Structure 1
Amino acid sequence: MAHPAARRQDVVDELHGHAVADPYRWLEDGESAECRAWLAAQERMFAEHAAQWRDREAFASLLRELAGAGGAAVPVLSVPVVRGDRRFLLRRAPGQQLPVLVVAEGDQAERTLLDPVALDASATTTLDAWRPSWNGELVACQLSRRGSERPVLRVLEVATGRFVDGPVRPGRVTPVAWLGDDSGFYYVDTPAGGRRLRLHRIGQPECADTVVHTVEWPQLSVATSPGGRWVMVSAAAGATSGNLLWLGEHRADGLALRRVHDGTGDGSRAVLKFGPGERIYAVTDAGAPFGRLCAVDPAAPDSGHWHTLVASEAPAVLTDCVVLRDPAGAGVRLLVGYSRHGVGDLVLHDAQGNRLGHVPLPGAGTVLRLSAPPTGAAEAWFSYTDFVTPPTVYRFRLGRGVEAAGRPATGAGPRPRVRQVTYASHDGTPVRMHLVGLPADGAGPRPTLLTAYGGFGASSVPGYSPAALAWVRAGGLYAVAHVRGGGEEGTGWHAAGRGRAKPNAIADLGAAARWLVARGWTSPDRLALRGASHSGLLVAAALVRDPGLYAAAVCSDAVTDMVRYPLFGVGRLWTEEFGTAEDPEELEVLLGYSPYHRVRPGTPYPAVLLTCARTDPRVDSLHTRKMAAALQHATCSPHPVLLRCEADVGHGARSVSRWVELQADILAFCAAHTGLAEVCADRGSLRRGASAVG
């Protein structure tokens, strides 16, 4: 089936001396009759090609099995949040489409507080955020429908399971900072042009909520101390820009905020953490590219008076901290999380910051979400995962060590080999990469999926992925490159791949592909790229830069028009990360890698699958539509350029069945175009294949 013809327009913008063509601007209006007709044709073409992928159902079956153990996109168990003798957590039992919120009291069995599917049998309503009050009697729950990420906030009474307050409509998912007596909470709403901090009292209508603080910037967050006395407020101009930080005291006559940190000049960020006994700590990268933990004196809270307790040094990035109390009377203990080249570490320090020792972990993986009782205890919880270990909740207790507190059932099958390697990028910079499912020496090129994130200072850390393991189980190699723009090596690593340096991240990904080919582990006719969100941008940019290097590419929910991106979704938050077309020099850089603008007619592009949500509140799906049309018009190869556009989901959470369908399509598409051996319906053959490569 030929690509559906997309009408081209002679739209050309004159920007700082550049004639910037935009022939598919008409596809920005997803609700127009013409766009709807084009999408219907795309859906038909996708269905025709997908019907030829014989491995789809085998992959789907394997994904369902592996997803039973969890993963970032299909969580099974969360770290508990402790309030008194109650523990709140998310749990997804076998057969459930979405996690449910449960509570356990003392030694009693867990009971369900909120099941999104019980509210909406279609499983398109998601619990986007939840926050228990300080005494554990109430929980603020934010629910949204069909991927809108425009939640309705209601307050659940724990004793009865009934909603007793709300609705509050903040516009986007908001932090909830409870008052000490549970009589209300601070939250953030999103009027046009800025953000407002508001105080809601239980039992009063939303229209009566007091506006406490207003900023013109698009990011605003809030947190309170366990007793409700202290209030932290943070604001930033963008997702990666330096922040302003205030500390205030909640009083009956209002909230007076005092600015304690200003990172707008040097791009530094800081966050306050509240410990037991009204202790206040700060985690910041100001003057510390690998982070530091500081003690804050409420009487002199300005950052110039912060006392550094723990100063992290290369290559360890300080990532998190919780405060414990020693039952033996030795006082406060600080449990500090680190990441070394993307691999997690936990270290115990005393109240003065002296190192007491490492907390043993199950392997070289990732520590997620440290949690400790807010009023002080001798225990903390965290989640651990790596490429072959599903997320598992552990409890650490002073004097007793670490024990598993919640382990999901793992799928059967052998554990693939995992190895970290280092390769040189185009400019000689060493870049690390993880390989999962290494072939035996001399086995020849292996069908390979390569990915990277490389943006916003976020690290690509080792983590259990049912999709990655399904690919490996079928006989493939999975590679994760830790390219510049991420946070694996501190703030300098992020800076080396952001803004005008963003091309470094793209070049790092291309260098990873060439290294894999040069080592003989794969070949251009067996290599596929895949990525979503910022990772999808890197994939799209690498694809149009070196189309002959790849057999296939999958680009999901990605920004592809780097000229007009601030106009749509939440793109205005990303100008610090990418730059903007309003600046002549930054426009030069953007046009140099913008995937949509780098598509060249008459180019033999590889097979490409672009996937998106019909309505995505974060990355508007217009990017994917325009990119698909441009590639379909330009390619001169026999390989398809397909668009998979899904309704009733968004950029974030979705039901397990929807996730399985999407991932099965992606893996089957990549298998069809990289020569991956046919995945047999006999599940035993998949395990034999995994043994051969493991």
Structure 2
Amino acid sequence: MSRGGSDWVTIHVRDVATGKDLPDIIRWVKFSGAAWTEDGKGFFYSRYPAAPAGKAVSQRVINQTLYYHRLGTDQSVDTLVYARPDLPEWIINGSVSQDGRYLFVYLQNGTASENELFYVDLGNPLEPAVGGAVKPLYTKNDATYAVVGHDEKTLFIRTTLGAPKGRIVAAAFGDTDPAHWRVVVPEGEGVIRGAAMAGGKILANLQVAATSRLALYSTTGKPQGAVALPGLGSVAGLSARNDSNVVYYGFTSFLIPASVYTYDVASAKIGTFFKPDVAFDPSPYEEKQVFYPSKDGTRIPMFIVAKKGVKLDGSNPTLLYAYGGFDITITPAFSPWLPAWLELGGVYAVANLRGGGEFGEAWHRAGMLGNKQNVFDDFAWAAKYLIGAKYTSPKRLGIMGYSNGGLLVGASITQNPALFGAAYAGAGVMDMLRYQKFSGGALWAPEYGTSNDEKAFRWLDAYSPLANVKKGTCYPPTIITTADHDDRVVPSHSYQFAAALQHAQGCANPVLIRVETKTSHGYMPTDKRIAQTADIDAFMAFSLGIVKPPAPAPH
């Protein structure tokens, strides 16, 4: 549980058989789950030192540590499993293998893609040796190492070592030399974003140009077919156990609400586990993917969702969304507000910018650190494509982004204010010269660099939204949102940027800030989310020329 949706979490334990809460309370947990031992008597978790009174939102987080908590005992006597005081800004997390035999320990430099991997042999899963030695597996911090599963003494690992798009290899616990790996799933066209073991086989979640594929392999590396998906969209929540043939996975697209399906790896049968009842007819609309050249000629993919036969006369109110960072891929996904926008006659576009994970680690690196300007150029050229193809015009083109995407919007309107007719920046990182001084900001240093470094200072100062607001410039109508309990991107980023824009605004276009209370970066109660979404959509729609709703459809 978290107060106001803060990243700070307090773990409570409930007996699911009786429905009664146990007295165990674990505090000062952040960026961690609970990894239970097979005996059900306790779990591993990661925590930070307690924050000073009144400083929980802004307190810089350092020295995360991995512990084991045994049910029925006080947190003060929890077993210390792993700590790295020499790496105070690195993240430590633990994961228990499905059979309870091993604890895998991940060590990661903030939000970097690379990680180190360790393990603890817990011995008998029903009497685990939670204080066992932490042994190294891969400790060069030179790639991603994620455990897919194990079979007797063979460890299956998803890695980017020698494969920027990822591959799955088989390794021995006692032999960590990559030269001795056996390749199970080779690097291919698609980026391997995840994998799971079921029935002694490996199911890989591949992304090809930001759309999902599911492919099945034997543990010897033999391809065993693909899972038929409902269309152009996204697979998420791949869930399986190696002692079962059934895999659960979610699927969604811009026009298909998220549903949960099952796949039997033995029979290849697909079933529907859950499908929501949504009163939306997608048949009048279509989604397609295009590729456009960015400033330097790089081909960038973009999804466009619109009414079938939409008139390409430059008059359509259009919303352009993107993220462009942290190796995160923005894939097709249904959102309840999208049908409303389409019914208003709007067009929705999502650009897959460099900095994300759409084409692997090389694509990510092309939009991080000193290459960050590529992200802003990709976004501007997405806007120019939509305008050139006559989907819309500058006055009818709105841009949207959240978090790192809020930074994208802030940089876009300070660099190209006349290119857009409206802008929404949610919880953006606007002060790039000081972001690392607050809360978890220092964890983003591998992605952005920090102003402490002279070379990084120059590129950060060149695009930091707060540092590049120019007095007398006519900025587009802009709405900025933040939350008072946001301890990831602290609200001061939005406060300062809104004040700077309002002070500098050289025309009558409004610049508004909306501050929600008792919510955070990722959490918002449903009633407040509906209210905020309505405010943002109304602002964007009005700014882009929608002055009245369409006539209701006949029943």
Q: Deviations over 1:492-547 (max 9, x none)?
A: 11000001001100110000111111111100110111111111110110111010
Is this contact kept in 2: 1:455–1:486, CA < 8 A? yes
Give 2:196's match in structure 1, choosing from 322, 333, 345: 322
Match of 1:471 in 2: 341
Match of 1:393 in 2: 260
Is this contact kept in 1: 2:355–2:365, CA < 8 A? yes
Match of 1:500 in 2: 370
Are residue 284 (structure 1) and residue 132 (structure 2) matched? no
Alpha-carbon shift at residue 341 of structure 1 (Å): 0.4
- Amino acid across the alignment from 1:294: V
Work out the CA distance in 2 between the residues paired with 1:569 and 1:333: 42
Alpha-carbon shift at residue 277 of structure 1 (Å): 5.4
Match of 1:207 in 2: 76
Match of 2:169 in 1: 294
Alpha-carbon shift at residue 318 of structure 1 (Å): 0.9
Match of 2:35 in 1: 177
Structure 2 runs not aligned, ≥5 long: 50-60, 124-128
Match of 2:115 in 1: 243
Is this contact kept in 2: 1:242–1:262, CA < 8 A? no
Match of 1:421 in 2: 290
- Amino acid across the alignment from 1:257: V
Is this contact kept in 1: 2:407–2:425, CA < 8 A? yes
Q: Which runs of 4+ in 1 moved over 6 A?
A: none
- SS for the counterpart of 2:107 is strand
- Amino acid across the alignment from 1:255: G
Work out the CA distance in 2 between the residues paired with 1:210 and 1:304: 36
Match of 1:658 in 2: 528
Q: Deviations over 1:458-496 (max 9, x none)?
A: 001011122233211211111100010000111111000
Match of 2:138 in 1: 261
**1:414–1:224 CA distance, 2 compared to 1 (3 A):** closer
Give 1:359's match in structure 2, choosing from 222, 227, 238: 227
- SS for the counterpart of 2:134 is strand
- SS for the counterpart of 1:417 is strand
After superposing the two structures, state which structure 1 stretch, 636-645 or 394-403, moved more. 394-403
- Amino acid across the alignment from 1:262: T
Q: Deviations over 1:383-436 (max 9, x none)?
A: 000110011000001214211110011223344211111111001111010001
Q: Deviations over 1:272-305 (max 9, x none)?
A: 1334657531111111111011123223245554
Match of 1:558 in 2: 428
Work out the CA distance in 1 between the residues paired with 2:62 and 2:326: 23
Are residue 195 (structure 1) and residue 72 (structure 2) matched? no
Match of 1:336 in 2: 204
Give 2:315's match in structure 1, choosing from 445, 453, 459: 445
Is this contact kept in 2: 1:336–1:348, CA < 8 A? yes
Alpha-carbon shift at residue 260 of structure 1 (Å): 1.1
Give 1:435's match in structure 2, choosing from 289, 292, 304: 304
Are residue 311 (structure 1) and residue 178 (structure 2) matched? no
Is this contact kept in 2: 1:263–1:286, CA < 8 A? no
**1:442–1:430 CA distance, 2 compared to 1 (3 A):** closer
- Amino acid across the alignment from 1:210: T
Alpha-carbon shift at residue 217 of structure 1 (Å): 3.4
Work out the CA distance in 2 between the residues paired with 1:318 and 1:414: 30
Is this contact kept in 2: 1:344–1:367, CA < 8 A? yes
- SS for the counterpart of 1:615 is coil
- SS for the counterpart of 1:636 is coil
- SS for the counterpart of 2:536 is helix
- Amino acid across the alignment from 1:168: I
- Amino acid across the alignment from 1:423: Y
Q: Deviations over 1:296-330 (max 9, x none)?
A: 3223245554322111223x0011111122xxxxx
Alpha-carbon shift at residue 443 of structure 1 (Å): 4.6
Match of 1:144 in 2: 2
- SS for the counterpart of 2:62 is coil
- Amino acid across the alignment from 1:226: Q
Work out the CA distance in 1 between the residues paired with 2:546 and 2:388: 20
Work out the CA distance in 2 between the residues paired with 1:165 and 1:306: 46
* Structure 2 counterparts to residues 604-615 of structure 1, below 5 A: 604-615=474-485
After superposing the two structures, state which structure 1 stretch, 548-557 or 292-301, moved more. 292-301
Work out the CA distance in 2 between the residues paired with 1:234 and 1:493: 24
* Structure 2 counterparts to residues 399-414 of structure 1, below 5 A: 399-414=267-282
Alpha-carbon shift at residue 579 of structure 1 (Å): 0.9
Work out the CA distance in 2 between the residues paired with 1:387 and 1:189: 37
Alpha-carbon shift at residue 170 of structure 1 (Å): 3.4
- Amino acid across the alignment from 1:259: P
Work out the CA distance in 2 between the residues paired with 1:173 and 1:165: 23
* Structure 2 counterparts to residues 444-593 of structure 1, below 5 A: 444-593=314-463
Alpha-carbon shift at residue 165 of structure 1 (Å): 4.3
Give 1:380's match in structure 2, choosing from 237, 240, 247: 247
Is this contact kept in 2: 1:530–1:553, CA < 8 A? yes
Q: Deviations over 1:103-157 (max 9, x none)?
A: xxxxxxxxxxxxxxxxxxxxxxxxxxxxxxxxxxxxxxxx112122222111211
Alpha-carbon shift at residue 654 of structure 1 (Å): 1.8
Work out the CA distance in 1 between the residues paired with 2:161 and 2:353: 23
Give 2:104's match in structure 1, choosing from 232, 235, 239: 232
Is this contact kept in 2: 1:260–1:302, CA < 8 A? no
Work out the CA distance in 2 between the residues paired with 1:633 and 1:344: 45
Work out the CA distance in 2 between the residues paired with 1:254 and 1:661: 49
Match of 1:155 in 2: 13
Work out the CA distance in 1 between the residues paired with 2:194 and 2:384: 36
Are residue 623 (structure 1) and residue 493 (structure 2) matched? yes
Work out the CA distance in 1 between the residues paired with 2:314 and 2:21: 60
- Amino acid across the alignment from 1:429: T
Is this contact kept in 2: 1:260–1:301, CA < 8 A? yes
- Amino acid across the alignment from 1:232: F
- SS for the counterpart of 2:489 is coil
**TM-score normalised to the size of structure 2?**
0.93
Work out the CA distance in 1 between the residues paired with 2:202 and 2:249: 14
Work out the CA distance in 1 between the residues paired with 2:178 and 2:438: 36
After superposing the two structures, state which structure 1 stretch, 520-529 or 224-233, moved more. 224-233
Structure 1 runs not aligned, ≥5 long: 1-142, 326-331, 688-694
Q: Deviations over 1:208-254 (max 9, x none)?
A: 10112102333111111123221100111220252111022125382
Work out the CA distance in 2 between the residues paired with 1:146 and 1:217: 25
Is this contact kept in 2: 1:197–1:213, CA < 8 A? yes
After superposing the two structures, state which structure 1 stretch, 527-536 or 395-404, moved more. 395-404
Q: Deviations over 1:360-382 (max 9, x none)?
A: 11111100011113x51111000
Is this contact kept in 2: 1:275–1:376, CA < 8 A? no
Work out the CA distance in 2 between the residues paired with 1:414 and 1:384: 16
- Amino acid across the alignment from 2:112: T
- Amino acid across the alignment from 1:671: A
Give 1:272's match in structure 2, choosing from 123, 142, 147: 147
Alpha-carbon shift at residue 259 of structure 1 (Å): 1.4
**TM-score normalised to the size of structure 1?**
0.75
Give 1:601's match in structure 2, choosing from 459, 471, 490: 471
Is this contact kept in 1: 2:433–2:450, CA < 8 A? yes
Is this contact kept in 2: 1:569–1:616, CA < 8 A? no
How many residue pairs get aligned? The number is 533
- SS for the counterpart of 1:511 is helix
**1:286–1:467 CA distance, 2 compared to 1 (3 A):** same
- Amino acid across the alignment from 1:361: L
- SS for the counterpart of 1:169 is strand
